[in-house]
Amino acid sequence: MDNYVDPLERLIKDRKDVSEYLEDFKEILGFLDEEKAWSKLEPIRDFFGRNVIAHFKYEEEVVFPVILSKCATPESIKLILELQREHGSILKELEEFQRIISESAIPLDKQMSERINIVGRRIMDSILPHASKEDDKLLPILQKNRQIFDR
């Protein structure tokens, strides 16, 4: 059985999934002292821990090396270096977020709620421009050079 997934299609799907979870995340930030909001945080935390990390790993192990070996330009090299640097800082923020959530219990005290909100907003402020850069710069490279991923 063939498990091949077109890299462009995978990145587009990943991007859509991230957008949906970020919208949910944005809705509950500021309300994490409420049990209802807190219950929505678990799936978001799990998604970040699984899917965002897997997305970054896929880009770094599959997409970026192929671009660099088959259609590198000064612009694409610069872009990939920027994206990799952003991956590192986003992953650090996600680790901090995971740690805070695992240390917390409902009901949250005001200080813990504020901490989660600050880290959550930093994650949003990092992921949104990163995703826009992928949409505006990385995906067009992949669309223009789809053949580089031919099996």
Instruction: Rounding to the nearest 10 degrees, give the CA dihedral for residues 128, 140, 85, 67.
Output: 150
The mean per-residue pLDDT over the stretch 103-121 comes to: 78
**Where is mean pLDDT largest: 25-29, 38-42, 84-88, 100-104?**
84-88
d(CA 37, CA 24): 10
Q: What is the pLDDT of residues 35-53, one digit of tens each?
A: 777 788 888 989 998 999 9
Report the candidate in 47, 50, 25, 22 with the shortest Cα–Cα distance to residue 131: 22
- Concatenating the DSSP letter of every residue in 18-33 gives HHHHHHHHHHHTT-TT
